[in-house]
Structure formats: structure tokens, C-alpha cells
Amino acid sequence: MIKGQVIGGELGKVLIRQKSDAELEIGEILVCGETEKILLQVYDLVYGSQISPQNLELISGMKLEDNAETEFFDERLRNYTIAFAKPIAVLRSSNVTLCKQLPRFFKEVRQVENSDLAFITTPKDPLFIGNLRSGSKMLDVPVSLPGKEVFAHHILISATTGRGKSNLVKVMLWSIVDKDYCGVLVLDPHDEYYGRNGEGLKNHPSHERVVYYTPRDAPPGTRTLKINIKQVKPEHFRGAVAFSDAQWQAMNAYYKEYGNKWIESVILEKPLKLDFHEATVGVLKRRLTHLMDIDFDGSQVYCKGVFDISAGETTVKDIANELEQGRTVIVDTSGFSGAVEILIGSMITNEAFSRYKGYKAKGLLDAKPVISVVLEEAPRVLGKEVLESGSNIFSTIAREGRKFKVGLTAITQLPSLIPREILANMNTKIILGTEMKPERQAIIESASQDLSQDDRNIASLDKGEAIITSNFVKFAMPVKIPLFEGRAATAGKTEQKKAFEGVKLK
Amino acid sequence: MRFAHIADVHLGSWREPKLRELSTLAFIEAIKRCIDKKADFVLISGDLFNTSLPPIESLKLAVTELKRLKDAGIPTYTIAGSHDFSPSGKTMLDVLEEADLVKNVCKGSVDEGKLRLEFTLDAKTGAKITGMLGKKGMLEKKYYEDLSRKELEEEKGFKIFMFHTAISELKTEELEMMDAAPVSLLPRGFDYYAGGHVHIVKEASIEGHKNLVYPGPVFPNSFAELEKLGCGGFYLYDDGKLAYEKIELRKVATISIDCEHKSPAQITEKAFEEITRNKLDGAILLLRFAGTIETGKTSEIAFNRIIELAQERGAYFVMKNTSKLATREFDEIKVKADTTEEVERLVMEEHVGQIKSLKLNPEQEKELVTRLMLALDIEKEEGEKQADYEARVNAEMSKIINA
């Protein structure tokens, strides 16, 4: 269907006059040319008219005040819409290249058809995001990214509340649960991904590859989250809790002297060779007991929460093993304070990262799946203010994780709080509706493709609509993310034959 | 209410006569203490025997000791463990139950694909006991997944759940790679969870599951266990209080020789020095050699002379472990581990992915291999002809492959 005609502009700003019986939308993809096709994307719309502004005002006045019907010119010719579009790619048979030319003057543009997009194929190790979108219309063209590379090079998901971040993450996780190429750690502060009370990853046909850790009321078959205090090291608190220099020194001194019993030793105020001010140890003890929900009676330490003195010796290692086996591990952190959530995330991430560094040194990394850590409210650990007081495991991964096949999937409403250098390292950005101008600006400035004209486009993204900008796609792809709800119902289930050999049955 | 909780006796596990004797004495001592302490009943959480068809001596010992308990009016409740349960479903526990020496509490019915376990009532105390058997390769995990929990959890009274499964949340660091199931698979709300299978001594309470207890073996079953546990024991529950009853028949002394950058002669000399320095009167001596030796072969270390010296110095028994000893002259053996199960697991993991034709994922492949290994574990029955035995094993294998 013909949508309009090229009437002017410049490279990156092509003016299209809309055909009177066609509708153009921001984000819409248009095609210009037949053998050599230029794909154009609309990024802004303005009115056009053959009538001078003064006459338009006059006509409006006559209509409003006197209810007069005045006709100038042919109805189809007098008023119209002018679209501003940017060329996004050139298709020559099966070759796709960046556009370095203008479409021919006065050339007609038509709406995009599925056949124009045959070059969008499913890559190796796919990570499904959604369907290609032209304006608000969803096309029958699934968009998958090369998951292995994309995860290792970090993903940023940016959106205002209510624009479908959780739905997107669920869709992404659902698509990779049964894939061996990646293990994903999800720190889930809203306990929404497993689907304890509704649809979730537990409903996946390969649900045995989803491991769920929760500190409360674990459904049968899932893990009760317990972490032995012996597994906690001072370095795990980096980025999670702001201790003073003296407190850091005291923690390290206890760790050096008492090894994995250092927390117990702080709580029981065991002596140190080095001298620390009484108040320093006192505050440290108080903060640790509060943070880790620990109690003591003078000679014995008791744990009440997720940290334990008896259970959970292998939890962190178990999770690292599961990630290495390409599983999706969801840790329900909904009952924790932000600091505890980050502490736990930091412990697991440290373990996985140091293992992968070891594998690289031994030449074993190639055989391992990529690991991604899904972080909600990422500025808590990647924010400029946090990083001013020192780096943490997450910022280390953001900077150098790619070399070791460990990446971040950072989710945020406020990308502007993340340092530019880290944002630039996130080579794939999935942008959902973002209302605040500074946040859009931060994303646009660090995008892999030129999005300088897409400010309005991003602002107008509706729920479930997104733009993918990535080093691994040819152009910034507009997508529509399908609704997660209903996926479980359509997933096939296989009933296994049940036998209970060895049980004395009646 | 007072009861004893024993697990992982593994009667007949040791080949060395001296250690086999200690293992026997430890079991006898455990039973004696149960009687002396006037236990109301005894729980044995699996692996009473080391194999499903144990040798006559082990059977005789079990019968004698269980009869002592019976004569003292103390009932014994059991479940089958991964060692005393055969793939064909046969276990010597059935014979002991027929003789009214034990009660296997792993019983119930199947209703709409769900396993409904029943309680066995202890007449004297009113305790309600049920439990789940353990199988090799943790194949019992599927049973738990299909377990009907509601009626077990809603049952009133003092309840005990016996299990023979490694619980993920309770694994110790050394057991990191052991197959385990989450505690959430066990029904909630019981007063005591009598565990077996994992040879550790541990008690813990995890939300909805109080008194989760592993008593460990009554006598250690391997070099690693002797090194880690030193001795065996069992748990005694006395009106809410838990106490671990140690059974220490011999002291265990461990000497670790760091062989890194040393020649066989230097290692021998170092071992002599250490043995002479230690007091070994009547102790079980564990000699661990670790590291990469600088020159020569490990066989050049005078192990015989080292052991002789230790015996002269009064050691009751000497065991050596060279699993962490390597030489520069030979390629390292790929799989090294302290236990048979660990070797099996490592070999399986090293080769997973090689069965292409069945198009299985790694988990399914591991499960298939575990089942096949179990089938190959079937023992020849008394009077069974070789051809019949082979046909029986073949039939079992075909059944598994075609399932």
C-alpha cells in the first residue's frame, strides 16, 4: 500500500508527504524502491497545507463562529501530513547495509511487508525479544538477538514504571530456559518471575531447568534460601553497605585472624591482635547483627533469617554450579532490605565471576555457557554516587565481565544515574517508554545506533513497545513484546509414567 | 519419649578384617546403648547393609542385634537406603520384616498418580512414623515430586519422617557436588526428620522442618570419613532434647605428608619422622600423601616400610591415601576421588553428552546412565543359572532403554 511520497529533506531527515487515504505513525517503517529498497522510519509528524496560515485561521473562524462551510481546493490536496523519516537500512537482494544515500526524489514510499524483512532471521543461540513493530502495528516477524554475545556484552533495559519491564524480562527468560548457551541469575525483589501465585517460569515445559530460591514458604521442589555465615567474606559487603574505613579495617582484621568464623568472632567480640577502638567494633557488631538478623547470648550465635550457622554451606556454590549448567536461577529477595539483596547477589556473582576467570586462565572458558545477572534498580550498585565510594563486583563485571563471558542485564528507570562509561559498555539497550527527558537523553547518547532523532519516538512508546539498539543488530529495531500471560497455557506438557518401586504399596 | 536414630550402618562395607571388626563392634555398641538408655524405639534411616543381598555374616549380625532390641521390647523402624535397595525391588529388609525384627515404614498406596504414604503407629509412645526409601542416583526424588503431602502435614500427634536423601540446604562444603533434593520436598510440620545417606553429623531446623538430623554412620566407612569424622555414632531424642552419642572404639591419628617438590626418598624420610614423633598406641593411623613429587615414581616411596614402622609404633591399623599424589613423569589420571560414588559421578559427568542417538538432555542422560548402572548392579541369586541371570539383566536393561 502506497503511504506517501518523498518530497525533500536531507540524509537522516527525509520529508514524506502522506497520501490522503493513508495513516502514518511515529515509528512506522516504510519502504522506498523495488530492487534496491531503502527502509525508512518515521520519527516525527507535522501538518502540511496548501492554504496559508492566515487563511487557515480565517476558515477556522468562519466555521466556528458562523458555522459556514468553506471549501478551498480539492479536499485530498489541501491539507495533509508531512512525515520526517530517517533511512535505517538499504536492502540489496539479501544484503543489508547502513544507508548512505537519499531515496530518489519524488519516489513513492509504501508500507513494509513481511517479505521485505526476510533478512531478519533467527540467529544462533537466539534470545527472543518480541515481534518487529511498524508504528503500533505488530508484524509477523519475530526478533531474536544472538543471545550468547548479547548477554556477555551486557543488556540495559530502561523504562518508566508500568511500561512492561517485567513482562519483557519474563518473555526473555522464557525463551532461554531450555537453552544451554546461558545461565541466568535473577535477583527478584518483587518475587514475580517464578510465578509462585500465578503464571511464571515454573510453568515452562523445561521447568526442571528453573531453580527457585526463596527464604519463605518454599513450594515443594524449590530451595529454601539459606546462606551459611561462614561463606560471607568482608569483600561481599562492597557496594551493599557503606562501612567507614575503620570498620572495613576491623572487618578485614577479623577475617585475617579468624577466617570463616570472622562474623561470629565480631559478634562475640573475640580479641584481635590489632587494636581497634571499642566503638568501632561495637558499631560493626551492631550493624552486622541487624543486617544479618543474628542474635547471641554471650557465648553462642543464633541466626533467625536467611543467614545461618548450620545450613546453607553450599548454597552459593550450588547456584554457581547451576549457572554453569545453563540454568535459570531465580532468587526471591522480596523480603530483604536492599543491602541484604545486594550482599547475597554480590556473593553469588563473585563466586561465578572468579570461577570463570579461573576457567579463562586454564583455557576452559569456551565450553562454558555465558552467565548473565539480572539486576533490578541497577543504579543501586552501578550508580555514580555508589561508585564514588569504590567499585563493587557488579561494576567490575560491567567493565571487564565480557572477557570472561559474564554479563549484566541491568534494569532501571533512571539510566542517567549510571556513569556514561558503564552505559557505553552495555552494548544492547532495550528501550521501553521513558517519559523523563534526561533519562531519554542518557540512553540516546550511549546507544549503539544513532538515536538522536528518536527522542519523540521513545517518549511515545506505549506499554509493551520497545526499541532495541545493539551492536548485534543492523539498525535500531522497533519491537512489540508479546504478553507473557497465556504462554504457560499454550506450552505442551508431557506426562511421565509413574512407578514407585520399593514402596510397600497396598 | 526417648528414641534412638541410627543410619548408614553399612554392615559388611569394610574389606580389611580389622576395620570390619570395628564396624561390627560399633553396631553392637550402638544397640547396647539403645537398650541401656531405655529407648522406646529405634529408627534406622537406611543402609543397614552395604548391599541388597548381604553376606551371611552381616545378615547374622543384623538378626542377632535386632533380636536383642526386640527381646528388650524396643521396636525398630526402618526404611531402605540406596545400598540396601536392589533395582528389582528386593531388599533384605523384607526378610527382617517377615521375621518381625523391623518394620519398614515406607508404605502406602497410589491414588490418581499420587503416592499416599501411611503412618506406622508406635504402640507404646503413640509416635506416628512414616518415611521414604532412598535409591541410587537419587531416583527417589521423583517419588517426592509425586507425594501427596496434605494428609501427612495435617495429621495430628507426634510425627517422625524418615528419609534417605541428601538435603541441599544441609550439605557441607565437601559434599558440594553430591546430588541432593531441597528440603521443601519433605512434608512440613513433622516433629523429627530422621535422615540418612549423607555421612555427616548435623542437626538443623529450616522453616517448617524442625529437627532435621543426620547422625552419620555408626562407624566411618572410608578413609575420608575416618579422617573427617574420627568416629561414628547416633542420635538420641529425649523429650525434645537431642544428643549425639559418640561411639569411639579407637582413636584416629592423621599424618599428612606434603610431597610437593620432594623425591621419594625425602618423602619416605619425612613419613618416618612424623610417625616417630606421634603417639600411635592403638590408634587407626591415616597417612595422606599429597602433592606432585619432584622426581621418580610414587612406587619408589617405601610405603611398606612406612606402614611397618607405624605398626611397630603401636598403630592398630594403617591406611594410606595417595589420591592427591601426582608425579611429573606421568599424565595425571583424569578422575580422582575418595569414594566409589564420587568416582562414578565424575566419570558420568565427564562422558555426558555422548549418547547422541536417544536425543536426551544432560539430565535425562544422567538419569538413564544411573538406571543402567543400577540394573548392572543386580546380583546373581543363589541357584540361578548364569544364562538366566544374564537374561534377567538384559531384560532389565532393555526395559530401561525402551522406557
Taking contacts as CB-CB distances below 8 angstroms, the residues of chain A near B113 are 498
The pLDDT value recorded for residue B331 is 47
* Chain centroid offset of residue B58 CA: 16
Distance CA A246, CA A281 (A): 9
Contact A224 B173 (CB under 8 A): no
Distance CA A131, CA A479 (A): 5
The side-by-side arrangement of strands in the sheet containing B159-163 is B120-121, B128-132, B159-163, B192-195, B209-214, B202-206
Residues B12 and B98 in one domain: yes
Residues A175 and A241 in one domain: no
Contact A223 B208 (CB under 8 A): no
User: Who among B104, B206, B403 is closest to A224 (CB)?
Assistant: B206
Name the helix (H) or strand (E) containing B109. strand B107-111
Q: A96, A117, A138: which is the final residue of a domain?
A: A117
Residues A383 and A253 in one domain: no
User: Who among A220, A308, A314 is closest to B184 (CB)?
Assistant: A220
The pLDDT value recorded for residue B330 is 52
Q: What is the CATH number of the domain that holds B148?
A: 3.60.21.10
A71 domain residue, yes or no: yes
Contact A314 B182 (CB under 8 A): no
pLDDT over threshold 80, residue B144? yes
Residues A147 and A281 in one domain: no
Residues B144 and B171 in one domain: yes
Q: What is the CATH number of the domain that holds A187?
A: 3.40.50.300
pLDDT over threshold 90, residue A67? no
A412 domain residue, yes or no: yes
Print the domain residue range for B376: 352-402
The residue to which cell 528518536 is assigned: A454
Q: What is the pLDDT of residues B183-207, one digit of tens each?
A: 999 999 999 999 999 999 999 999 8
Residues A327 and A429 in one domain: yes
Type of residue found at A96: V
Distance CA A337, CA A335 (A): 7
Task: Give the residue among B228, B289, B239 at the shortest CA–CA distance from B264.
Answer: B289
User: Who among A224, A314, A502 is closest to B182 (CB)?
Assistant: A224
Q: What is the pLDDT of residues A329-386, one digit of tens each?
A: 999 999 888 889 999 999 999 999 999 999 999 999 999 999 999 999 999 899 998 8
pLDDT over threshold 60, residue B398? yes
Print the domain residue range for A58: 2-117
Q: How confident is the model at residue B153 (pLDDT cuts 50, 70, 90)?
A: very high
B332 domain residue, yes or no: no
Span of A237-241, B71-75, B76-80 with lowest mean pLDDT: A237-241
B336 domain residue, yes or no: no
Residue A309 at interface with chain B, using a CB cutoff of 8 Å? no
Interface test with A, best of B136, B139, B143, B169 (most A CBs within 10 A): B169
Q: B247, B277, B299: which is the final residue of a domain?
A: B247
pLDDT over threshold 80, residue A68? no
Nearest CA-CA distance, residue B34 and chain A, Å: 27
Q: Is B83 a catalytic residue?
A: yes
A496 domain residue, yes or no: no
Residues A347 and A438 in one domain: yes
B202 domain residue, yes or no: yes
Distance CA A381, CA B88 (A): 55
Q: Name the grid cell of A481.
A: 513484546
Distance CA B88, CA B233 (A): 31
pLDDT over threshold 80, residue A87? yes
Question: Could you tell me which residues come within 8 angstroms of residue A1 by beta carbon, excluding any fewer than 6 positions away?
Answer: A22, A110, A111
B346 domain residue, yes or no: no
Residues B128 and B206 in one domain: yes
Residue A363 at interface with chain B, using a CB cutoff of 8 Å? no
Task: For residue A215, give the DSSP letter.
Answer: S
Residue of chain B whose alpha carbon sits nearest to that of A209? B363
Question: What are the phi and psi torsion angles at A53 (to 5°)?
Answer: -55, -40
Distance CA B181, CA B301 (A): 43
Residues B232 and B361 in one domain: no
Contact A308 B133 (CB under 8 A): no
Residues B228 and B264 in one domain: no
B340 domain residue, yes or no: no
Q: How many beta-carbon pairs below 8 A join chains A and B?
A: 102
Helix axes B362-376, B386-402, angle to 10 degrees: 170
Residue of chain A whose alpha carbon sits nearest to that of B92? A502
Q: B216, B247, B278: which is the final residue of a domain?
A: B247
A195 domain residue, yes or no: yes
The pLDDT value recorded for residue B368 is 83
Q: What is the pLDDT of residues B25-72, one digit of tens each?
A: 999 999 999 999 999 999 999 999 998 888 899 999 999 999 999 999
The residue to which cell 505513525 is assigned: A25
Q: Which of residues 186-245 of A touch B (CB under 8 A)?
A: 208, 215-224, 226
* Chain centroid offset of residue A214 CA: 22
State the burial class of residue B244 (Cβ atoms within 10 Å of its Cβ: 0-12, 13-18, 19+): middle
Task: Give the residue among B74, B69, B106, B76 at the shortest CA–CA distance from B91.
Answer: B106
A493 domain residue, yes or no: no
B344 domain residue, yes or no: no
A495 domain residue, yes or no: no
Q: For residues B108 and A506, is the Cβ–Cβ distance under 8 A?
A: yes
Rounded percentage of chain A residues whose pLDDT exceeds 90: 69
Mean predicted lDDT score pLDDT of chain B: 90
User: Who among B108, B132, B173 is closest to A314 (CB)?
Assistant: B173
Question: What are the phi and psi torsion angles at A160 (to 5°)?
Answer: -75, 160
Residues A465 and A341 in one domain: yes
Span of A51-55, A420-424, B363-367 with lowest mean pLDDT: B363-367
Residues B24 and B139 in one domain: yes
B387 domain residue, yes or no: yes
The pLDDT value recorded for residue A403 is 95
Residues B194 and B286 in one domain: no
For the segment B148-173, the average pLDDT, to the nearest whole number, is 96
Structural domain count of chain A? 3
Q: For residues A79 and A51, is the Cβ–Cβ distance under 8 A?
A: yes
Residues A33 and A140 in one domain: no
Q: How confident is the model at residue B335 (pLDDT cuts 50, 70, 90)?
A: low
Q: For residues B13 and B60, is the Cβ–Cβ distance under 8 A?
A: no
**Strand A2-10 to A108-111 pairing:** antiparallel
Residues A274 and A303 in one domain: yes
Q: Name the grid cell of A208.
A: 526442571
Q: Which member of B5, B83, B164, B209 is catalytic?
A: B83
Structural domain count of chain B? 3
Residues B232 and B202 in one domain: yes
CB atoms within 10 A of CB B15: 7
Task: Show the CA angle centred on residue A299, arms to residues A293 and A305, nearest 5°.
Answer: 15
Task: Give the residue among B390, B362, B366, B361 at the shortest CA–CA distance from B378.
Answer: B390
Q: B247, B269, B291: which is the final residue of a domain?
A: B247
Residue A321 at interface with chain B, using a CB cutoff of 8 Å? yes
Q: For residues B375 and B394, is the Cβ–Cβ distance under 8 A?
A: no
A500 domain residue, yes or no: no
Nearest CA-CA distance, residue B302 and chain A, Å: 34
Interface test with B, best of A224, A317, A355 (most B CBs within 10 A): A224
**Strand A137-146 to A126-134 pairing:** antiparallel
Residues B124 and B188 in one domain: yes
Q: How confident is the model at residue B332 (pLDDT cuts 50, 70, 90)?
A: very low
Residues A178 and A218 in one domain: yes
Distance CA A409, CA A157 (A): 7
Q: Name the grid cell of B253.
A: 591419628
Residues A366 and A386 in one domain: yes
| Side-chain half-sphere exposure of A254, counting CA atoms within 13 A | 27
Residues A399 and A479 in one domain: yes
Q: What is the pLDDT of residues A103-145, one digit of tens each?
A: 999 999 999 998 888 888 899 999 999 999 998 899 999 999 9
Contact B207 A502 (CB under 8 A): no
Name the helix (H) or strand (E) containing B223. helix B223-229
Task: For residue A260, give the DSSP letter.
Answer: G
User: Who among A311, A314, A498 is closest to B206 (CB)?
Assistant: A311
Task: Give the residue among A241, A228, A234, A214 at the shortest CA–CA distance from A303.
Answer: A228
Nearest CA-CA distance, residue A325 and chain B, Å: 9
For the segment B239-266, the average pLDDT, to the nearest whole number, is 94
Rounded percentage of chain B residues whose pLDDT exceeds 70: 96
Q: Name the grid cell of B241.
A: 532434647
Distance CA B397, CA B38 (A): 47
Mean predicted lDDT score pLDDT of chain A: 91
Q: A95, A117, A139: which is the final residue of a domain?
A: A117
Distance CA A150, CA A436 (A): 27
Residues B65 and B183 in one domain: yes
Rounded percentage of chain A residues whose pLDDT exceeds 70: 97
| CA R_g for chain B | 23
Distance CA B346, CA B335 (A): 7
Q: What is the pLDDT of residues A425-449, one digit of tens each?
A: 999 999 999 889 999 999 999 999 9
Distance CA A313, CA A232 (A): 10
Residues A103 and A243 in one domain: no
Distance CA A292, CA B317 (A): 46
Following DSSP, what letter does each residue of A177-189 receive, concatenated?
TT-SSEEEEEEET
A61 domain residue, yes or no: yes
| CA R_g for chain A | 28
**Strand A126-134 to A477-480 pairing:** antiparallel
Residues B219 and B274 in one domain: no
Residue of chain A whose alpha carbon sits nearest to that of B172? A313
Residue B107, SS3? strand
The pLDDT value recorded for residue A273 is 87
ipTM over 0.90? The verdict is no
The pLDDT value recorded for residue B91 is 82
Residues B150 and B267 in one domain: no
